[in-house]
Amino acid sequence: MEAPDVRLLFGPMLLGVFANMILYGILIVQTYYYYQTFKRDAQWIKYLVLYLFIVETVNTGCDIAIMYEPLINNFGKPEATTFFPAFFASQPIIFVSVSMPIQIFFAWRIKLLTKSTLLAAIVTILAVVSFGAGVYTTALIIKFKEFSRKPELNTPALVWFLTACVADLLITAVLVMALTRRKTGFIATDDILSRIIRTTFHTGIITALFAIGDILCFMILPHVAVNFFWDLSLTKIYSNFLLSNLNSRTDLQAFVGFRSQLLNRTGPPPTVNPRTNKGAPSQEERGGPMHALDSCSYELEDKENVQYGIAISKVVETRHDSDPESLIPATQ
C-alpha cells in the first residue's frame, strides 16, 4: 500500500494544534477577565466556566501529545503514518464534553428570552445527539486505530458535527432575533443591545463556520486529514464563544453604573405629594425624559428574586417643579 502524504496527514493536524494553542491563550485572558469582572454571577455559571477551563486545559495537553507521538517518538517509523496517535481518541469526547454544556446553557437562555420551550428543547436534543455521536466516534477510533480506516468514521462523525452545527446556527439566529426585538428606540439602550447582538452573531457564526468546514472536509476528502485542522481547534472556539458572550456585558454594566451615579449623586429624592405632584420639577426643566436599560437579569447575578436571562425595561423619570436635583423614577 502506498504511504500517505505526510504533508496532508500531519500538516493540517499541526496547524490545528497551533490554532488551538493560540485560542487557549485567548481563553486564559477571557477567563481571568470574567472572574475579575463578574463576581456577582450565579455560582453555577462560575462553576461552568471553571469546568470548561479545566477541560480545555486537558484538551491542550492532549493536542500536544497528539503531535509529539508521530513527530518525535515515532519519527521515521512506519507506525507514525499507520496508526492514529494514542491521544487522538480523546478529541471527539472532549469536544462534545465542551459543546454540549455550552449549547444547553444557550438553550436555557433562549427559553428565558423567547419563553419558547420548543426552541430550547430542539437545541438541547441536538446537543445530546451530538454528544452521543462524539462518544461513539471515540469508541470507533480506539477500535480501528489505523489512518486507512478513517473513511469508516464518516457516518458517526457527520452526525456529530452536523447536529452541533445546526444547534449553533439555531442558537445564533434565535438570540439575535430575540435581542433585536427588545430594542426600545432610545439611542443609549439600543447602542448597548447592538453591541451584544454583534458579539453574539460574530462568535456564533465563527463557531458554525468551523463546524461546516470540518463537515465538508470530512465528506469531500475522507482519505486525508485536512478536516483535522478544524477539528483540533473547534473546542476552543466553543469556550471562547461562551466567554465572549458573558464578557460582552461590560458595556451594559458600565451604562447601568453611570445611570446609578446620576440617580444617586444628590441623595434620596424629595418627598412628593402623589395627588398634586408638588415637589417634582417639570419635564421641561429637567430637559426631557430619561430612558435606561435595566440589566439586573442580564447580569446573571446570584441574587434572590432576580430572573436570569436578558430583560429590558423602560425607565421614565418625570419632574414637575423648579427643583433641578429631584428625581422621581417611574417604571412603565
pLDDT band for position 252 (50/70/90)?
low
Chain-centroid distance, C-alpha 246: 7
Q: Is the dihedral of CA 316, 317, 320, 324 positive or negative?
A: negative
Domains and CATH numbers, the chain: 6-248 (1.20.1070), 249-332 (no CATH)
Q: Give per-residue pLDDT as tens, 66-110.
A: 999 988 888 878 888 888 888 999 999 999 999 999 999 999 999
Q: In terms of pLDDT, which residue wins out, 150 or 253?
A: 150
Residue 257: predicted pLDDT: 55
Question: In this structure, what C-alpha cell is assigned to residue 39?
Answer: 463576581
Which of the 8 DSSP states describes residue 331?
E
Share of residues in the chain with pLDDT > 90 (%): 35
User: Is the confidence at residue 300, as pLDDT, over 50?
Assistant: yes
Q: Give per-residue pLDDT as tens, 36-61.
A: 999 989 999 999 999 999 999 999 99
Residue 95: predicted pLDDT: 93
CA distance 172 to 231: 21
Question: Are 103 and 171 within 8 A, CB to CB?
Answer: yes
> Cα torsion for 85, 87, 93, 95, to the nearest 10°?
-90
Integer distance in angstroms from the first to the last C-alpha of the chain? 75
pLDDT band for position 120 (50/70/90)?
very high
Q: What angle do CA 237, 239, 242 make, to 5 degrees?
A: 110
Residue 23: predicted pLDDT: 95
Helical residues (DSSP H) of 4-116, grouped into ranges: 6-37, 43-68, 79-82, 90-114
Length of the chain, in residues: 332
Q: Give per-residue pLDDT as tens, 151-172.
A: 888 889 889 989 998 999 999 8
Segment 230-236 shows an average pLDDT of: 88
Segment 133-162 shows an average pLDDT of: 89
Q: In terms of pLDDT, which residue wins out, 291 or 5?
A: 5
Question: In this structure, what C-alpha cell is assigned to residue 36?
Answer: 475579575
